Amino acid sequence: MVATTSLVVGSFVWVEDSDVAWIDGAVVEVNGEDIKVLCTSGKTVVVKAANAYPKDAEAPQCGVDDMTKLAYLHEPGVLQNLRSRYDMGEIYTYTGNILIAVNPFRKLPHLYDSHMMAQYKGAAFGELSPHPFAVADVAYRLMINEGISQSILVSGESGAGKTESTKLLMRYLAYMGGRAAAEGRTVEQQVLESNPVLEAFGNAKTVRNNNSSRFGKFVEIQFDRRGRISGAAIRTYLLERSRVCQVSEPERNYHCFYMLCAAPLEDIQQYKLGNPRTFHYLNQSNCYELDGVDDCKEYIATRKAMDVVGIGSDEQDAIFRVVAAILHLGNIEFAKGKEIDSSVPKDEKSCFHLRTAAELFMCDEKLLEDSLCKRVIVTRDETITKWLDPEAAALSRDALAKIVYSRLFDWIVDKINSSIGQDPDSKFLIGVLDIYGFESFKTNSFEQFCINLTNEKLQQHFNQHVFKMEQEEYTKEEINWSYIEFVDNQDVLDLIEKKPGGIIALLDEACMFPRSTHETFAQKLYQTFKNHKRFNKPKLSRSDFTICHYAGDVTYQTELFLDKNKDYVVAEHQALLSASKCSFVSGLFPPVAEESSKSSKFSSIGSRFKQQLQALLETLSSTEPHYIRCVKPNNLLKPSIFENKNVLQQLRCGGVMEAIRISCAGYPTRKPFDEFVDRFGLLAPDVLDGSSDEVAACKKLLENVGLQGYQIGKTKVFLRAGQMAELDTRRTEILGKSASIIQRKIRSYLARKNFIVLLRSALQIQSVCRGQLARKVYEGMRREAASLRIQRDLRMHHARKAYKDLCSSAVSIQTGMRGMAARNELRFRRQTRAAIIIQSQCRKYLAQLHFLHLKSAAIATQCAWRGRLARKELRKLKMAARETGALQAAKNKLEKQVEELTWRLQLEKRMRVDMEEAKTQENAKLQSALLDMQLQFKETKELLAREHEAAKRAAEVVPVIQEVQAVDHVMFEKLTSENEKLKAMVSSLEKKIDETEKKFEETNKISEERLKQALEAESKIVQLKTVMHRLEEKLSDMESETQVLRQQAMLKSPVNKVSQYPPIPVIPNLENGHHMDEPNTSNEPKSVTPVKKVGTQSDGKLRRSNLERQHENVEALINCVTKDIGFSHGKPVAAFTIYKCLLHWKSFEAERTNVFDCLIQMIGFAIENEENNVHMAYWLSNTSSLLFLLQKSLKAAGSSGTTPSRKPTPPTSLFGRMTMGFRSSPSSNNLAAAAVLAVVCQVEAKYPALLFKQQLAAYVEKIYGIIRDNLKKELSSLLSLCIQAPRTSKGNVLRSGRSIGKDSPSTHWQSIIDNLNTLLSTLKENFVPPVLIQKIFTQTFSYINVQLFNSLLLRRECCTFSNGEYVKSGLAELELWCCQAKEEYAGSSWDELKHIRQAVGFLVIHQKYRISYDEITNDLCPILSVQQLYRICTLYWDDNYNTRSVSSDVISSMRVLMTEDSNDAVGSSFLLDDNSSIPFSVDELSNSLQDREFLEVKPAEELLENPAFQFLHE
């Protein structure tokens, strides 16, 4: 890894630093093998050139997402890349196919929501930003496509985030392989919910982590052939038992103990618990609570998770009873007993806890005490009981607690596995390994020894995988790799686990001898491995030993090795708990068979763990591995802190540096041809002149440079370690020489330019001075000439002014004298004229006053006399008018009564049109009687008219002055006789009206009774009709027997059942499959149906013919509208025809009908071909128009405030109203004309009609969604190409003017425009309502905005200056399309692109580093969130001009705001969601259309020729 090339002054290098591990700087002096480096911190250091690593000065500030792309793959380069990405908020980085995850120590919910999972679903590895979802997705895809089981290994030290990463992997696999929830719990739910259960019983707070897993876990998720999760299994490794009894500061015991102490009150009382500070197993540390964690809520959540994974409530109670018993065990203290070396419970408190533990274990209290304080030794001759001293009794107590907890944890794991279930037929699996990382503390015991053994085994597996990947890469590129060496750690593994001389074997041997101690064990190790290169003995210790692991040296203390390695259960404990009355507790300790106990006297944890580890490695070897290395950036567990030394140590422990070492043994630097030519083309410019082959150019370039040992692959150039630095050194030299030449040329150019400027300035100054002198002489001459002319003009002015003053004075005096004389004359004339006028007016007034007095006296006299005569005549006329007024009032009253009776008879006639013949005859009689009455009234009216005319003529003839006769006695007598005749006629009419009313009441009662009978018969007919329909459906496919069976069904079942009831009137025509609730009185061409008896043969035939005719009509309508019958005046013919037929058949008012079901089924069949947008647009137009007509027509039954639409307007006169009631009908010419004009008629809709309307609205939404989604599918493939500009090679463009990208930048955008135009023309041709077209394109543009914007944020190669220009040009084409489509169809589509428009606008701005944060948020990108802006600013890079992004102050401001909003899941998400909802309502659709638009629509021509559809002509 150390650079072998010589460094020059100006080279950028990395040097070691005691504080920050590595620090960068520039070489300022080279002295042989020593170089002087000026560091960026300001200090200067002198180091060996061999210890300095080259630095890539052109590396992006935000780092690279895959560290194999680094120009220099070494420790400082990897460390700096991780730090740069961490500072920018990027916590994930690839190293090939290995994912490195740096714990952010804060919640980032936006990175793990369902939308993010959808983004990574099916995406190629490396296409999007690094993420655990990408690793899980590539594993799932490989399993499905190649049929190979996969495994994902998650490792890292405590607190690095292994458990969280494992949860994310399992979430994604459940997302990909999950199935729709049916009954009960799904496998994926149980797998996910097993995490909180295992965390509660297997995780604890440690020094390095608040939720550290104290066990290893391997989750096998099984899949069926379709890729669905079919089963799962969880395997655990090496639970830390000692933590149950021993907790050091500031750690905690397992979470379940604290959860139980914070449980609800009833649970605490049940288990007799209290504050955790009162229990010995918990109060050894002062840490009882965790920040941000509520143990009570966690307890409830854990119990819910137990329900999900299949642990019942009884089993949960038993589990927590055992946990509580362990806590009570810990509080039992011992004191010396009466016997020698004996022990008893110390005090009453200990006795209470002993009694409570016995109650919870459901065992005998005395036996529990004996098992803790005594031991039974069985010999050949006798059984000896031995007392234990207090210390031994305490150890026995702790041993019982540890074995009980270990058995409990194993039971929970087994229960979860049995509940989830394994699929024996599963062929594939994906295993997720969450294992402890390499550990090295001040005190390292048996647990650290086993953990580090695990990591050694996994590291060997990891090295083999990395070496294999290197081989695959070289094979893929077809280069020679036979001389690459492989570093192996098999010697360490042999040291630990080899039989019979390994450390574990020696430990088992020491445990089998009772007199062995840790010191004798250590001495045995010293003797056995004294010459082993991986084993050392510390100088100042007698029992410690050191192993040189791959990650560093670790010293182990052997004091507790023997005790922790023994895996046995005390016989007294086994007997006590196996005899427990609690089946759960006894199940934890099943009785051991005597033979098995003899055969396996000794069992060690180390051997068992080695076997488990070997089985795990065999499983992993049979799968395709994937690696996630978790890194903890600091030991403070706080965000935004990156400790270089800490991270570097973890990279070494995680094997990342070992993988880099393997890569460096081969070809660590790999550059694609275009990038290599772009970077090093200036080393040999001649090879690029006119060259079109980049491979040949790379070969020539490397030959000219003189490098040896490189390889040319199919797509990349492979360089050995140090060759990249050598090329960069030569490139730096050439760039330095070029800079000198450029400086010389620039300085020459500036000097010449300065001389020319000085020369031009001198000439210009001389010309200006000479001009100034000439201008001064000329100015003096001008002033002299001007002064002479001014003097002359001034003298002339004074003389002229004196003359004008004298002249004006004389004229003024003359004018004043003449004016005064004229004014005196005028005043005299005015006075004379005024006197004359006053005299004439005075005389006129006196004469006029006299005349008026005379006139008023004459008029008063005439008026008094005429008034006297008029009053006399008025008295006579009043007397005559009284008698005429009484007669008129009686006439009006009678007229109202007759009108009311006429209206009632009219309604009765409408309701009883189709009643029996007897009732019709009675109505005819009543009609003839009323006609006679009408004639009499007509004569009376004529008499009254004559009387009115005579009265008017008498009133008009009024004497003016002459006195006339006041009363005409002859006329008065004649009127009196006529009034008497009228009174007699009125009395006779009243009698007839009373008789008619009585008959009407009787007839009404009879009609009501018959109507009830008709309704009962109608219900029976409905039942018979349903039976008939079922029979017809069953027998439709039997052609030969159809006629025979139909006759039997029509003749037998309907007639026989109906004939049991008394005769009822025949119901009018049953229109097209539904039953009318009211008699059909509108537009019926037939006359009144005569009364027939039900059950006769003729009646049955009539009913069969009606049903057949109804089905034929419905079938004819459906057959017609199923075809594409086009449009009429811009409206769909099919929708209008269906509406007119339903309106005529009164289907909307029917209680039961199957017409709507047929129509819905027809529409469903018609839209089965979802890919044809033309067909979908045709039916969208039809369904939306029909829905509009229904929305305007239908009203719920019983709605108030409305009147029947077919009620005729009553005439004003009595005769007109009577004529309308008796001689006209609702189907008159006037009403028919009104019906033609009013296309939409309101009707009271029944339930089937309202249900049909809802179903139709659902189909409109469905067809709308299909068209929209079809357009999205067509655009999705194009959008992925539109977000990134075609790649070009800078070197070839500069030299040969050739572009590598073959596609025109506007080709993909033009394809999008073509798709939009095609759909728009299709929708226009099918006359889809404009509001729906607007919504389709608005949502489509929103989809374009989401896809482009999310791709911009997820792909760093898209956040470039050139790419912004490319996308901006495409957006301009979309804007032009919106303008051409006009607002009627495009609507607000352009506004939906606001996110991508502002983001692209930011990308193409020059000098971004000068823009402040306020300018960005207020002016440039006001719609973008802080997270989105931060993402764009950190991902931005300029591939054309190498310009910088925004300043570091702006980045810091954004980071502060993001930290404040980090807990807001919604606000933290930087990706946009696609809205696939239906953006319109039925009311909005109805408001966009007008009734009058359907006035000129013509029905289907095919149906107009059918006689049954003649009503469509109306």
- Nearest CA-CA partner of 234 in 433, 436, 404: 433
Evaluate whether 978 touches 942 at the Cβ level (below 8 Å): no
Q: Which of 89, 156, 310, 437 is catalytic?
A: 437
| Catalytic residue check, 748 | no
Neighbouring CB atoms inside 10 A of 948's CB total 12
- Among residues 63, 77, 89, 159, which one is catalytic? 159
Nearest to 1091, CA basis, from 920, 905, 908, 906: 920
Q: Which residues contact 279 (CB under 8 A, 6 or more apart)?
A: 257, 261, 327, 330, 331
State the DSSP code for 103.
Answer: -
DSSP-based three-state secondary structure for 74: coil
**Degrees, nearest 5: CA angle 746-752-754:** 100
Q: Is 345 helix (H, G, I), strand (E, B) or coil?
A: strand
DSSP code at position 381 = S
How many CA atoms does the CB half-sphere of 186 hold within 13 Å? 14
Task: Tell me what percent of the chain is helix, strand and coil, each rounded to the nearest 5.
Answer: 60, 10, 30
Cβ density class 582-601: b for 16+ within 10 Å, e for less: bebbbebbeeeeeeeeeeee
Active-site residue, from 209, 1147, 1292, 1445: 209
Rounded distance, CA 186 to CA 183, Å? 8
- Please, which residues bridge with residue 15 across strands? 23
Dist CA 982 CA 990 (whole Å): 12
Is 437 a known active-site residue? yes
Cα–Cα distances in Å, from 467 out to 123, 662, 1021, 1181?
A: 26, 7, 85, 63
Three-state secondary structure string covering 671-736: EEHHHHHHHHHHHCHHHHCCCCCHHHHHHHHHHHHCCCCCEECCCEEEECCCHHHHHHHHHHHHHH
Q: Is 178 among the catalytic positions?
A: no
Known catalytic residue at 599 = no
Cα separation of the two ends of the chain: 95
Task: Report which of 1139, 1150, 1129 is spatially closest to residue 1070, judged by C-alpha positions.
Answer: 1150
The one catalytic residue among 151, 194, 206, 212 = 212
DSSP structure class, residue 1417: I
- The catalytically annotated residue of 95, 129, 163, 1338 is 163
Tokens of 965: 């006769």
Provide the token pair at 440.
């090295």
Cα 1190 to Cα 424: distance, rounded to the nearest angstrom: 57
Beta bridge partners of 671: 717
Q: Catalytic residue, from 439, 694, 1071, 1392: name it.
A: 439
Q: How many residues does the chain have?
A: 1514
Q: State the Cα–Cα distance between residues 720 and 735, nearest whole angstrom.
A: 23
Joined tokens for residue 1412: 């402040």
Active site residue 209: yes
Catalytic entry in 129, 151, 158, 452: 158
Helix (H, G, I), strand (E, B) or coil at 98: strand
1128 counts as catalytic:
no
Beta bridge partners of 254: 204
SS3 (DSSP) at 61: coil
Q: Alpha-carbon distance 1354 to 116, whole Å?
A: 10
Neighbours of 535 (CB within 10 A): 19
Could you write out the DSSP letters of every residue in 1117-1155?
HHHHHHS---EETTEEHHHHHHHHHHHHTTGGG-SSBSH
Angle, vertex CA 1396, rays to CA 1394 and CA 1397, nearest 5: 60
84, 103, 149, 213: the catalytic one is 213
Q: How far apart are CA 1126 and CA 1133, in angstroms?
A: 6
Catalytic residues: 158-159, 163, 209, 212-213, 437, 439
